[in-house]
Structure 1
Amino acid sequence: MTEAQRLTIGVSDCDRARALAEGRVAIDGVAAEVTVMPLQPLFNLQMTHHTFDCCEFPIATWLRHFDRPQQEYVGIPVFPSRHFRFSCVFVNKAKGLTKPADLAGRRVGTMVWDMAAAVWLRGIFDEHYALPWDAPIYVNAGLNEARAGEDHPQQYPPAARIEHVTDRSLSAMLESGEIDALYTARAPDSFFSAPDKVGRLFADPMAAELDYFARTGIFPPMHLIAVKRRFVEANPGLPRALLAAFAESQRLARLRLHDSATLAVGLPFLAQQLEETERLLGPAFWSTGFAANRDMFATLIRYMRAEGLLRRDLAPEDLFPASLLES
C-alpha cells in the first residue's frame, strides 16, 4: 500500500473549509495536517515564511508569482473567499461623494495595494463606473491602527499617485476627513464609532452588486488555494485531489446552511436568505473548477495588467496544470 503524502495546510476559519479542517473530508492519497488561523496572520506568515505546504492565498498576490522566473505555487481553482466589495467602499459623509466617478482626484485609502478587494474595485470602477484606476490619490496605511511598513512586498505602478502614512490609521483619517474614501476588506472602526461622519459610498450596495453580476456573471474571488510546486511534481494527481476535497467541503457547508433544524450562524432568516441568494445568483454562484471561472480569471488578468501589477501576457489556461483545465 502506498504511503500517503504528508501535507500541511493553512486555511482561515470559514465554513467552506471547515469539513476538511475537521477531518470529515479526506484528500485522496494525502495525510493532511490542517491549521486554522485568523486571515491576516495566516497571509503574513505564508507570504513571508511560506510555512504551509498548501495554503489559502490572496488571489492577486498569487497571480503576481507568474512574473517570476519560476512559479513556486500551483493554484487550485477553489475559492474560500468571494465578495462583491461594493459594500466595502466607505466615505467621509461631509464630502458629498455618492458614486465611484466622484473619487477622481480624491484621497482614497487602501491598506495593501495588491489586496484582492482593492484590485477588483479599481478594475470594476474603471471598466464600469467611469473612474480610471489611476484617477484617485491613494493613501497607504493601516486600517484601524498605524502601521510602520508593508505586510508583504508590494509593487507599485508608476502611474499611481500613492502616499504612505505611518503615524495614522485610515479609519481615523476617514473620520477626520484627511482622506475622502476607503477601499477595504472589512469596515473601519469609525464606521461604527462615528456613523454621523463615516458611511458607505453606495446607498444600496446590494442592488449595485446584483446589477454588476447580471452584466458580467462574476462573483469576484478574493482567495484561492495554492500548493507548493514540489509536492505536485512528486504527485501529479495532487491538484485534482485537492480540488475534489475542497469542493466537497464547500458542498457540505452549503447543505449545512440549508439545514434549519439548528441555524449554522446567528441569522434568523438564514434559510430564506440563502434561497433568495440562489434565486438571484443561481445555485452554483460559489462555483469551483476552471471552466466556470475562466472568464473571471481573464478579467482579473486584464485588470492587473492594465495597472502593471502583472507584466506577463497570460491566458487563463496558463494559470493551472492541464489536469485542472477540464474541471
Structure 2
Amino acid sequence: MSKLKLTLGCWNYDRTRAIQDGSVQPDGIDINYLDMPVEETFFRMARYREFDVSEMSLSSYSVSLHRDPKPFIAIPVFPSRFFRHSCIFVNAKSGIKEPKDLIGKKIGVPEFQMTAPVWIRGILSDHYGVPVDSVTYHTGGEEEPGRYEKIKLNLPEKIKVTPIPEDRTLAQMLRSGEIDAFHTARKPSTYDGVTVKRLFEDYRPIELDYYRKTKIFPIMHTIAIRREVYEANRWIAQSLFKAFCEAQRRTYHDLQETAALKAMVPWLSHDIEEARREMGDDYWSYGFENNRSQLDTFLRYHHECGLSPRLLKAEELFAPETLEAFKI
C-alpha cells in the first residue's frame, strides 16, 4: 500500500535528523525533508504555504490563528527552544547599563512579530519593569537591507513600530548609535564586546536563575501542517508527533553517550548532566500538558504586545488528537 507523500520544511537539527535520514519514518507517510535555514522556511510557508508540513515561528503561527480561514494547524513539537537574555544587544554609548535604561530608547528588531523578540519584550516587562510600549521599535534587515514583516500586522496605536531606511541594516545602525539596542535571534556581526555589547554579558547564570524561578525554557518554533492537508488526513498529526518524539529520543540517547562525544562540544557531558539536574531528564520537552504553562505565558506576551487581538488559549494551537498524545 502506498504511503502519503508529504514535504517537510525544517532545518538540520540533531533532534530531527533521524527523520531527515529516514531512520525514523512516520507511520504511513513518505517524507521529503527540505533542509533550509529557518528564515527561508518561515517566509515560504507563511507567505506562500509551499510545504505540506513545516517548522514555523511560534509567533507567526499564532498570528495566523486570527485569520479566517486559519491556514495551519500545529502539533506540540518544538524543534527550537532558546533562553533569550543573551540576545539583547546595546550600543555602549547609549547609556544603557541595566534593563530599565531601555525605557525611551530606540530598539531595533528584524521583525516585530518574530518569536524571539516576543519573549524578550515579555521578559523585560514581567521581570525588569520595561513596558512593551515604553520604547520605539525599528524594523528591517539585520545584515542585509530590505527585510519586511512577512505577515501584515495591525498593532495598537500605543505600540510604535517604524521601518528603517531601505539601504541600512540594523547591525550597522547599532554600531553607529542610530539605534540604542537590538532584540534579535542571531548575534549581529557588529558585536565586539566593546562598541556593541550584550545587556547581560554574563548571561548563563541569569538565564539559569530565570529558569529556576519560572520553569520556562522558551519555545521558539513549532511544527505546522497546512490545514487542508490535515483535514483530509486527520491521522497524520499523531503519526508525525510520534515520529518527532522518536527522533528526539534517539538524540537524547546520543548526547548522553560518554565513550565518544557525538557533538562537537568539549564539555558536552558536563552540560548534559547540568541540564538534567536543573531541568529533568526531558529538558527539551515535547507534548502539550507539560508545556501548557509556558505556552500560556507566551500567548499572554503575544497578546500584550498587540500581535493577538484576543488572548488565545493554549489548546487552540494544536490538533486536538495531539493534546493527550503520549510518547512511545
TM range (shorter): over 0.9
**2:264 aligned to 241, 263, 266, which one?**
266
Q: What's the counterpart of residue 125 of structure 1?
A: 124
Find the residue that maps to 2:190 and give its secondary structure.
Answer: helix
In structure 2, distance between residues paired with 1:157 and 1:46 = 26
Find the residue that maps to 1:33 and give its secondary structure.
Answer: strand
In structure 2, distance between residues paired with 1:301 and 1:207 = 26
With 113-122 and 313-322 compared, the bigger mean Cα shift is at 313-322
Q: What's the counterpart of residue 311 of structure 1?
A: 309
| Contact 2:83–2:207 (CA under 8 A) maintained in structure 1 | yes
Q: For 1:66-215, what aligned pairs fall within 5 Å after superposition?
A: 66-147=65-146, 149-165=148-164, 166-191=166-191, 194-215=192-213
Give the Å deviation of 1:81.
0.3
Q: What's the counterpart of residue 288 of structure 2?
A: 290
Find the residue that maps to 1:309 and give its secondary structure.
Answer: coil
The TM-score normalised by the length of structure 1 is: 0.94
Give the Å deviation of 1:148.
5.5
Residue 164 of structure 1 aligns with an amino acid whose one-letter code is P
In structure 2, distance between residues paired with 1:154 and 1:133 = 16
Residues 1:35 and 2:34 aligned together: yes
In structure 2, distance between residues paired with 1:228 and 1:158 = 32
Find the residue that maps to 2:55 and give its secondary structure.
Answer: strand
Find the residue that maps to 1:190 and give its secondary structure.
Answer: coil
Give the Å deviation of 1:151.
4.0
| Contact 1:111–1:143 (CA under 8 A) maintained in structure 2 | yes
Give the Å deviation of 1:268.
1.1
Off by >4 Å, runs of 4+ in structure 1: none
Q: For 1:227-238, what aligned pairs fall within 5 Å after superposition?
A: 227-238=225-236
> Alpha carbons of 1:49 and 1:318: their partners in 2 closer, same or farther (altered >3 Å)?
closer
With 226-235 and 52-61 compared, the bigger mean Cα shift is at 226-235
Find the residue that maps to 2:56 and give its secondary structure.
Answer: strand
**1:219 aligned to 217, 220, 223, which one?**
217
Give the Å deviation of 1:320.
2.1
- The percent identity for this pair of structures is 38
In structure 2, distance between residues paired with 1:48 and 1:66 = 14
Find the residue that maps to 1:168 and give its secondary structure.
Answer: coil
Residue 56 of structure 1 aligns with an amino acid whose one-letter code is E
Give the Å deviation of 1:248.
1.1
In structure 1, distance between residues paired with 2:320 and 2:155 = 32
Give the Å deviation of 1:260.
3.4
> Alpha carbons of 1:148 and 1:234: their partners in 2 closer, same or farther (altered >3 Å)?
closer
| Contact 1:113–1:156 (CA under 8 A) maintained in structure 2 | no
Residue 84 of structure 2 aligns with an amino acid whose one-letter code is R
The TM-score normalised by the length of structure 2 is: 0.94
In structure 1, distance between residues paired with 2:246 and 2:123 = 31
| Contact 1:98–1:202 (CA under 8 A) maintained in structure 2 | no
In structure 1, distance between residues paired with 2:308 and 2:244 = 27
Structure 2: any 5+ residue segments left out of the alignment? none
Structure 1: any 5+ residue segments left out of the alignment? none
Find the residue that maps to 1:179 and give its secondary structure.
Answer: coil
How many residues are aligned here? 324
